[in-house]
Amino acid sequence: MLIATVCLTSFARKFVAEGKTFTAFGDYRIEIDDNYVTINGLQHKPYIISFTNSDLEARVMITMEKNCRKYYVFSDDLSVQYVSNRHYFGVEKLDRSWRRKAS
């Protein structure tokens, strides 16, 4: 039984945060996935955002560059990239090919 418990917990996601959205999605939960994802040759540990009243899950990967951060957000219905630097914050819709890169 102890071995089974250790095996099951080794595949569990690591809890980061949870809270209320005050929307129809219900409460949210953020966890870190144990599996790495490669985007543009860089390894990322994705954050998984899930909701109590929805099957929707969003995977978020963050790339930290010299003067810029890029947030890649993937879900079943929409993939976007947020870019943040000291001059602007912008968003761009990503095409379906990005979804394959993040899986």
Q: Quick check: helix, strand or coil at residue 6?
A: helix
User: How are beta strands 47-51 and 37-39 bridged, if at all?
Assistant: unpaired
Instruction: For residue range 31-78, list pLDDT tens digits in order.
Output: 999 888 888 788 898 999 999 999 989 999 998 888 899 999 998 888
pLDDT given for residue 7 in this prediction: 42
Q: Quick check: helix, strand or coil at residue 28?
A: strand
Global pTM exceeds 0.85: no
pLDDT given for residue 92 in this prediction: 80
User: How are beta strands 54-64 and 68-74 bridged, if at all?
Assistant: antiparallel
pLDDT interval class at 80 (50, 70, 90): very high
Number of CB atoms found within 10 A of residue 61's CB: 23
Cα distance between residue 95 and residue 103, in whole Å: 14
How far, in Å, are 47, 51, 76 from residue 25 at the CA level? 18, 6, 15
Domain extents in the chain: 13-101
